Amino acid sequence: MQRYTRRYTLYFRLVIFLFLSINFCLLLFFTTNQNRNSHFSFNKTTNIANRIVLFVRTSHNCQSRLNYLLQSWISRNVLKKSNLYLITDRISTITNLTLLNSFHNVIQTHCPETHNRIDLCCKTAYEFQLFYSLNKIKSNLEWLCRFDDDQYVNLNNLYKYLSQINASKPYYIGRTSINGGLKISNSNRTYSFATYGAGVCFSHALLKQLRPHVNIKILPRNCIKRGLSDDAYIGYLIEFVLNVSLTAINDRFHSHLEKLDKSFRNYSLDDLFHGITFGFSWDRYKLDWLPIIHHLINLINQNQYETANHLWLFLRNYEKEHPENLKDKYDESCISYQRLRNQSIELQMRKNKKIIQHSKKHIRRS
Which active-site residues does the annotation give? 231
The Cα-based distances of 2 to 7, 11, 12 in angstroms read: 9, 14, 15
Answer positive or negative: Cα dihedral of 56, 267, 284, 355.
Answer: positive
Residues sharing a CB contact under 8 Å with residue 361, sequence separation 6 or more, in sequence order = none
CB 329 within 8 A of CB 283: yes
The Cα-based distances of 306 to 231, 266, 289, 290 in angstroms read: 39, 18, 20, 20
Alpha carbons 235 and 90: distance in angstroms, whole number = 27
Between β-strands 151-153 and 143-148, what pairing exists: parallel, antiparallel or unpaired? unpaired
Helix (H) or strand (E) holding 56: strand 52-57
Between β-strands 246-248 and 172-174, what pairing exists: parallel, antiparallel or unpaired? parallel
Instruction: Name residue 186's amino acid.
Output: N
Alpha carbons 227 and 184: distance in angstroms, whole number = 11
DSSP secondary structure letters along 211-274: GGG--TTTHHHHHHHHT--HHHHHHIIIIIIS---EEE-TTTB--TTS-GGGTGGG--HHHHHH
Task: Give CA 126 to chain center in angstroms.
Answer: 19
Alpha carbons 250 and 165: distance in angstroms, whole number = 17
Of 72, 51, 251, nearest in space to 153 by CA: 72
Alpha carbons 147 and 166: distance in angstroms, whole number = 21
